[in-house]
């Protein structure tokens, strides 16, 4: 059995080589799949060069940018074709999630079906973000917890370890959310399938290099998404 880390990228050439190197130094037996949306900055070419050094590194190159949700769905579908994959990790390339937490999260995932690297439980923190971003994120997660009633605290966390047995139960064709709120719906679908959850505290740091993907579309989608998810959940 093997575990796969999925890293979606768009213009992440400043970060991708270093984060891949750090992950393999920490977990030399892990597999990494980078999903690149045809980044104009040549992120994919950096990954291709790294494949010469790291045999467990793969690249899924998509034709265009279609949002985080679509990137993850394509990566899940590709990865789940391999019956030997036991756990899938989702994380960003920008060092907002420190690879040092991977060992603890993967170990915890031996006992729980979904492990979330959480900013919003005791011991979790956020560092380096503007006040308005912290308020927006905290408020969005409280809002999701109020609407959806899923007993977790960090709905929008992108740092997760997921048992593939539960991912295989999900019909991804029914997911029509493209942005970061895909992560909210994914957690709800996993919960609906009976997955057990565990949050562990992490320090979330503002991205090291590159530009944030936050936009007004993401914010607007986030306001409506919990109600859409609640409706689906209660069908």
Q: Of all helices (H) and strands (E), which one includes residue 143?
A: helix 131-148
Q: List domains and CATH numbers for the chain.
A: 2-233 (3.90.550.10)
pTM: 0.87
| pLDDT score recorded for residue 143 | 72
| pLDDT score recorded for residue 210 | 45
Q: Contact 109/161 with Cβ under 8 angstroms?
A: yes
Tokens of 208: 């090291």
Q: Which residues of the chain have pLDDT under 50?
A: 209-210, 212-217
Helix 216-233 crosses helix 131-148 at what angle (to 10 degrees)? 10
| Size (the chain), residues | 235
Pairing mode, if any, of strands 85-90 and 160-163? antiparallel
Separation of alpha carbons 118 and 121, rounded Å: 6
| pLDDT score recorded for residue 181 | 83
Q: Contact 117/89 with Cβ under 8 angstroms?
A: no
What SS3 class is residue 59? strand
């Amino acid at each position: 059995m093997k575990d796969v880390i999925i890293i979606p990228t768009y213009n992440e050439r400043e970060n991708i080589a270093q984060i891949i190197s750090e992950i393999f130094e920490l977990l030399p037996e892990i597999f990494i799949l980078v999903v690149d949306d045809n980044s104009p900055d040549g992120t994919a070419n950096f990954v291709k060069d790294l494949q010469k050094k790291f045999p467990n590194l793969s690249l899924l190159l998509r034709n265009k940018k279609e949002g985080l949700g679509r990137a993850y769905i394509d990566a899940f579908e590709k990865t789940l074709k391999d019956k030997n994959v036991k756990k899938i990790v989702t994380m960003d390339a920008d060092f907002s999630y420190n690879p040092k937490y991977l060992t603890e999260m993967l170990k915890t995932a031996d006992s729980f079906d979904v492990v979330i690297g959480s900013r919003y439980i005791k011991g979790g923190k956020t560092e380096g973000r503007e006040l308005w971003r912290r308020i927006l994120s905290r408020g969005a997660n409280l809002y999701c917890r109020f609407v959806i009633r899923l007993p977790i605290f960090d709905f929008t966390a992108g740092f997760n370890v997921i048992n593939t047995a539960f991912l295989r139960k999900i019909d991804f064709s029914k997911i029509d959310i493209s942005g970061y709120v895909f992560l909210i719906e994914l957690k709800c679908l996993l919960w609906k399938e009976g997955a057990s959850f565990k949050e562990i505290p992490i320090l979330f740091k503002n991205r090291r290099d590159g530009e944030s993907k936050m936009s007004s579309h993401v914010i607007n989608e986030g306001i409506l998404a919990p109600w859409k998810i609640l409706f689906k959940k209660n069908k």
